[in-house]
Each structure stands twice: as structure tokens, then as C-alpha cells.
Amino acid sequence: MTYLELSAWFVGVAVVAAIVLSLIAGRRRAHIGAIALTLAALVILTAVFDTLMIATGLFHYSPAHLLGVHIGLAPLEDFAYPVAGAILLPTLWAALRARRSRRDAEASS
């Protein structure tokens, strides 16, 4: 399995989970701006810190399993994890917030 295939599965699972969580959240689903801001921050941090860690030799990737596109020294496949996090975490937060609001509304009735 290549890193791209692994990354695709990882992001796919995150997208499916985000859809389910958005349905659970109902009207209180994650704002697209929150997702975009999270995505931008995580991609920038990944580019900077992965480049530094690869440059210092903390880890490396097998070139045979890479697509060949890099941002800094970080391979493109390495950005799947922050993308998945940026998709999944705001939707999880919104679903938990909606669940808490429903529970509080039920408790006050």
C-alpha cells in the first residue's frame, strides 16, 4: 500500500464521520469558516514542522511509495492527516455542542 492510498482511506473515513456528525449536530453544525481556518493553520504548521523534522533526520519516507510532490521537504501525502483533522474536529465539536444543548434543554424542562 502506498502512502497515497493510506492517506485516501484516512481522509475518506474522516469525511464519512464528519457527515454523520453534521447530521447529529443538526442546525448547530460546524461553520465552513471554522473548517477553513483550521485547515489553513494545520497545513501551514505541517509544512513548517515536517520540513524541519525531515531536514534534521528525525524521519524519512520511502521514495518508492510517494507520489513525488513535496511542499518544502514534506511529501504531499503527509498533509492528509491535518486535512482529516480540519474536517473532522470542527464537526465533532459542533456535534458535541449540539448534544450538550439538547441535554441542557431537556434538563431545564
**pLDDT tens, 81-95?**
999 999 998 889 888
State residue 20's pLDDT score. Answer: 92
DSSP letter at 61 equals -
- The residue extents of the domains of the chain are 3-103
Distance CA 32, CA 3 (A): 28
Mean pLDDT for the stretch of residues 49-78: 90
Q: Is the pLDDT of residue 1 over 80?
A: no
Residue found by looking up cell 510532490 in the block = 69
Distance CA 9, CA 41 (A): 23
* Maximum pairwise Cα distance, the chain: 61
**pTM to 2 decimals?**
0.79
Average pLDDT, the chain: 89
Which has more confidence, 68 or 56?
Answer: 56
